[in-house]
Amino acid sequence: MSPGIKNRPVIVSTGKDSFEAVFTRYYSLVYQLAYRCVGRSDEAEDITQEVFLRYYRMPPQATGEAEERAWLCRVATNLGLNALRARQRRTDREERAGDLKRRTAPDEEAQQDPEQHALAGEQADLVRSILAELPERQQVYLLLRSIGLSYAEIAQATGVATASVGALLARAEREFRRKYHERVTATS
């Protein structure tokens, strides 16, 4: 054995192993965030797949687990909001053309209690619609908080000071509640 070989470092994990670990650790979080943005499991799966594809192709220059998580959340949120905006544009075009089709087919849950399922679906659509009316920054804060991120993690994902997150989140929540109340009052 030559002396050069015994001094080489042993490679413990490959890029593929590292990717699989990240995928396993964060898949649920990324999917949950995407689903909260778009409200449809097929679309959330597509967004989740795109997030991890981007990670695989060009991983962030993260120095730790927190930065990695923040990067994944930021990408998932951006892709989710983009998908929501694209869907809204499509819906607007369909409505203008008078060709709006029903988006969902009945599933098992709807067959068990169709009225409850319809109400829950309407409520979720209302929340997503109001969320889409908020400024993008407020959407991001509310979505990240809704999946359980701490103020520090939200700060890291959005690039603001941790001390500012509370006030920014409170402002976003206040605006969401105001719009929600307006909508509910207008339909009553």
Q: What are the per-10-residue average pLDDT scores of the chain (188 residues)?
A: 40 60 93 90 94 90 81 91 79 53 47 65 82 89 87 88 92 93 84
Residues in contact with 142: Cβ distance below 8 Å, sequence separation at least 6, in sequence order:
131, 134, 169, 172, 173, 176
The answer to whether 158 and 140 are in contact (CB under 8 A) is: yes
pLDDT at 50: 95
The answer to whether 147 and 77 are in contact (CB under 8 A) is: no
Full-model pTM: 0.59
pLDDT at 41: 92
Q: Among 110, 141, 131, 147, which residue's Cα sits nearest to residue 179?
A: 131
pLDDT at 12: 34
pLDDT at 92: 60
State the alpha helices, DSSP H only, in 98-161. Answer: 108-112, 114-133, 136-146, 151-158
pLDDT at 30: 95
pLDDT at 51: 95
pLDDT at 112: 59
| Gyration radius from the chain CA atoms | 21
Please tell me the total number of residues recorded for the chain in this structure. Answer: 188
pLDDT at 62: 66
Helix, strand or coil for residue 11? coil
Phi, psi of 60 (to 5 degrees): -65, 160
